[in-house]
């Protein structure tokens, strides 16, 4: 599948941002561990979240899905051992959260995924689980991984600078462990807002976690309780819409936005303002009036890593220089996102320099359309599509079939606003 994009002069209209992928993952998994039934309203039904739904079904949760809600009957803290391995497809969140959850089973459970997933580091999480009484095995510290519990609790140490998903998985599962668990971080935590988001959902379902300085204490033998839960809109997806509006003459309103969200990518509003964009924040929406003129900035995206591809696009078309720092952990996503976005933007005539954990970008007035690789990564594909709106000539981006991982209907949303964008076989 390829995405064909031509330059657009303007964008106008109102578009609803999809529900949060991060919140949907966590709500489905915690509801599946809970006592009783939960109804999750306005969930994101994407390839990634469906992977979590299928994984939870395999551990015994009863889940019914419709267009605008998910009904879950939980396993009361006692997941069943799946009869076969769990395939998480392309979902890193599913792999890294469900591995500790499956450690609650007393028999061996194997989790695997696609080629990209089988390149993601897992050894730090497996080492932490071993310290908590779990038997683990893996293919060179990567998926497929096998775990055999029961997860007993105790004390573990783990790095915080490879993936916050390790920490989120431990926090969710260790509440079900027999004993109290202490989780000590031996390196600073990257992507802190994603852990805060996990703690928010844990609390909503009745769980308790004590957060200290570089440490967490999780009381054992807890019970999550089924609830009615509304999933808020996704700032990671909203960022693509807002940036598109900022790069062109536009008047765009993005709805389904929680202005008080704990999502780290809420920073996109402050970032665009710092670059000179006219943004008005309302009760549940954001209005962007773009003029195509932006100023380069220096920014640390250590806690908002999903914004890197689209911020690189802004920097490529902004006045002056943009420096994006503290993003080395983005080499372990669906693609090496630093290398991917650098390579493809430079094909379009941008001036992007890649460092070990930074991107240095010198802005240009416009880009040129060409054939680009999406690197099998939904966020790279969508970021390049936004860049192509300011490119001369047509741009064709491969791997567009990955877009539904996080933003089903992305191309339709952009076309609604007036973008020249078409998905083709």
User: What residues act catalytically?
Assistant: 306
Coil vs helix vs strand at 316? helix
- Number of Cβ within 10 Å of residue 45's Cβ equals 18
User: Which of these, 183, 243, 245, lies nearest to 217 by C-alpha position?
Assistant: 183
User: 91: exposed, middle or buried (C-beta count within 10 Å: 0-12, 13-18, 19+)?
Assistant: buried
As a whole number of angstroms, the distance between CA 300 and CA 191 comes to: 11
As a whole number of angstroms, the distance between CA 125 and CA 159 comes to: 9
Alpha helices in 188-294 (DSSP H): 192-204, 235-247, 268-274
Residue with tokens 């009760």: 283
User: 388: exposed, middle or buried (C-beta count within 10 Å: 0-12, 13-18, 19+)?
Assistant: buried
Sign of dihedral through CA atoms 238, 239, 244, 245?
positive
Using CA atoms in the order 156, 162, 163, 169, what is the torsion angle rounded to 10 degrees?
-20
Alpha helices in 103-206 (DSSP H): 123-131, 164-174, 192-204
> Integer distance in angstroms from the first to the last C-alpha of the chain?
5
Please, what's the b/e burial string for 16-29 (b: 16 or more CB within 10 A of its CB; e: otherwise)? bbbbbbbbbbbbbb
Is it true that the peptide bond before 144 is cis, omega within 30 degrees of 0? yes
As a whole number of angstroms, the distance between CA 241 and CA 224 comes to: 36
């Amino acid at each position: 599948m390829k995405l064909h994009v031509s330059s657009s002069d303007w964008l106008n209209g109102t578009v609803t941002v999809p529900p949060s992928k991060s919140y949907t993952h966590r709500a489905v998994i915690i509801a599946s561990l809970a006592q009783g039934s939960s109804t999750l309203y306005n969930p994101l039904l994407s390839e990634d979240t469906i992977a979590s739904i299928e994984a939870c079904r395999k551990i015994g949760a009863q889940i019914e899905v419709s267009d605008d809600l998910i009904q879950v009957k939980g396993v009361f803290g006692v997941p069943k051992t799946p009869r076969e391995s769990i395939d998480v497809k392309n979902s890193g969140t599913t792999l890294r959260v469900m591995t500790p959850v499956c450690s609650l089973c007393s028999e061996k459970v194997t989790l695997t995924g696609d080629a990209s997933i089988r390149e993601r580091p897992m050894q730090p999480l497996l080492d932490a689980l071993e310290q908590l009484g779990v038997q683990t095995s893996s293919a060179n510290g990567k998926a497929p991984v096998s775990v055999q519990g029961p997860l007993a609790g105790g004390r573990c140490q783990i790095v915080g600078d490879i993936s916050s998903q390790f920490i989120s998985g431990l926090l969710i599962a260790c509440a079900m462990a027999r004993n109290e668990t202490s989780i000590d971080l031996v390196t600073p935590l990257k992507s802190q807002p994603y852990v805060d988001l996990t703690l928010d959902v844990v609390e909503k379902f009745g769980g308790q976690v004590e957060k200290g300085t570089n440490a967490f204490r999780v009381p054992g033998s807890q019970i999550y309780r089924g609830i009615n839960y509304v999933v808020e809109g996704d700032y990671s997806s909203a960022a693509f819409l807002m940036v598109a509006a900022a790069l062109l003459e536009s008047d765009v309103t993005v709805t389904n936005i929680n202005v008080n969200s704990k999502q780290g990518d809420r920073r996109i509003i402050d970032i665009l303002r710092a670059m000179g964009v006219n943004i008005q924040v309302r009760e549940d929406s954001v209005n962007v009036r773009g003029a195509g003129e932006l100023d380069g900035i220096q920014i640390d995206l250590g806690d908002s890593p999903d914004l890197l591809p689209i911020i690189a696009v802004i920097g490529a078309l902004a006045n002056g220089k943009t420096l994006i720092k503290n993003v080395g952990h983005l080499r372990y996503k669906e693609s090496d996102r630093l290398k991917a976005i650098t390579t493809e933007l430079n094909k379009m005539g941008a001036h992007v320099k890649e460092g070990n954990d930074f991107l240095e970008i010198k802005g240009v007035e416009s880009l040129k359309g060409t054939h680009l690789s999406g690197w099998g990564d939904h966020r790279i594909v969508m970021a390049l599509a936004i860049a192509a709106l300011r490119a001369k000539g047509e741009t064709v981006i491969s791997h567009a079939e990955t877009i539904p991982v996080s933003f089903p209907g992305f191309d339709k949303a952009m076309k609604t606003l007036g973008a020249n964008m078409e998905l083709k076989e």
